[in-house]
Structure 1
């Protein structure tokens, strides 16, 4: 076995039962013998060398390209064992820290998300076949952290709960408020606000696929007069708006554009307006996005520390009026996505190929592991422009959430009854 790789595993794996079959067919085992045995096989010496020198990037890359296989257990099991052993110190070896330092120096270039580059980055991920996302997302195509009010909630229930949780924080206390949805995805959040809260929504996206589906959904729901979806960069959107919501988009802004992002939001938000930002974040100091995820899944993406977000928001003149940290919710969301994807893996393979499926499998498994055992959480940050724009206690949030829950449950019952009648006919 490659000596650097062996040294790394010697110092990393202390619990569990982890075995590696090297390119020469020799098996070595690490851990304390607990848990289900996991076995990874390297198919070439080049694969061993690559992972030894840069595991953050190369383990996923080598797996994606067939240089290694999991022969006992699953990729999620392997990554879970590694992350549990490593904690927040996966890149603890000196040469790995050096790589991460260089990546941080270069992040201004990697995250230089001008409008043209931002559109290219979005197309890389979100303009994949819409059939792919049908394989693992909920019916509303929510591609962001769900909100699990109960441990046994279904993905559909948790995604509806997420939408009403956000809607309650926006405090849409009268009809016809004008709402901007930055990074509207396939339209689910905007349609929820237009349907349930009589909002006039403008949703902006840089994805052609998302735009087409969002517009189609608005027409089919009879909400096209209240939910307008545009192919537009947020920097080009003109106000004013009573409310601004952004769910799962801020991760694509890039550190160098945080000031521009918040300054523009402040400019187009009315003086008595409310903004709700829902974003993945890290609970510790600033760092780097996982190199595999950055290269293959979300180019130009970055997961911020709260300190980075708040500094830019403060400079914009916005006032932070509420902060909530969602812990473990995204791990549970990703578990649902991962299991659904694997259950329909052959369909994904028919859309793309085996290499793509391995890439997607690694992405979902690594992401879930990071939210369970590393430093990732989700921030929900509420902003206003004046101290008296909202009630001074949080009671209005829970009251509105309860009201919307009843509305959601009534709507679900009506849909079930309607489907039952249609089936009978």
Structure 2
């Protein structure tokens, strides 16, 4: 009985959530769920039940009663078939395959048996063979600091990404060589989720025009997908325009100041499948909007409302990125300050239901060699780190970046300590 009630609850909740997002045209609409939204929600964001909670419960009961007999009786719909022999029916003859039925497991293209090499109709190779990354290249990749770290991460509970910067290689005409090197590293260790191939995309001075930026994204992701089929591709950037909210003066200034960081262009990269994960940096939120009296909390709220309104999370995983917990030497927040920072910079992005993960820079170094940490030096006790360790329930949603070439103590010790807070780690390689 308890299991049945749980099923009813879950299905009812799912059906209810599916109804959110259809405009409620009248305040008197009995299907409006605007009362569930905060008072500061913009007018263009509305909520309407496709099925009221009561109706959703009735629907769930209908399909679940009598051990789901109604669902069993519904069965799959009859397939739509076309008889090519019937007069008037035209069937294409240039499609893939040989047009014949084959047994399960039997190759449908001549030469596609194990060890074979299927060819396209014109004889050219029409797929990418992952074996282009040789065993020697994988072995060499394993011996690098990042390769050794990837093996060490396997002893923890963290999922691992490879983090690099390919923009400079692209500008130097060395993309193919650099991409293959990174692909070998990602392919060498089983379980690597994917590659983060750039940071501060469009925010730094690497690219001067939108055309250059577009070509970099398209050509780099195409190269990586060819070498790493099935792996995720991630990019980090910032979109200052999103923090303006409805302030037109702010939006005009951000568009002028950051011409390459066009929200529509970035959204298109997600829509077209170039990028599987987009990390949005929060570093600008506290200072960028002071002219218009928009504080960090309001800017963050504006940003995530805009992300939701654009449905970016329907096309890719969205991550919030924050380096502000770390301080020179070590974080110096007391317990109350640390709790407040966690609430504002971690809990809020996740609760705003736009960011699915939060990436924290737990240790980073300036060009002058100054080290900034969230934890204590050499892993000494630290209030902020202790507070972060209490977030066990959302550990899977927390990630960090680790540079194995510059360990705090040693690779094993560092990764073990990081796994107490984070569920994912990006291993940096230069």
Query: Is the TM-score greater than 0.5?
Result: no
Find the structure with the greater CA-based Rg: 2
TM-score (norm 2): 0.26
More strand by share: 1
Normalized against structure 1, the TM-score is what? Answer: 0.27
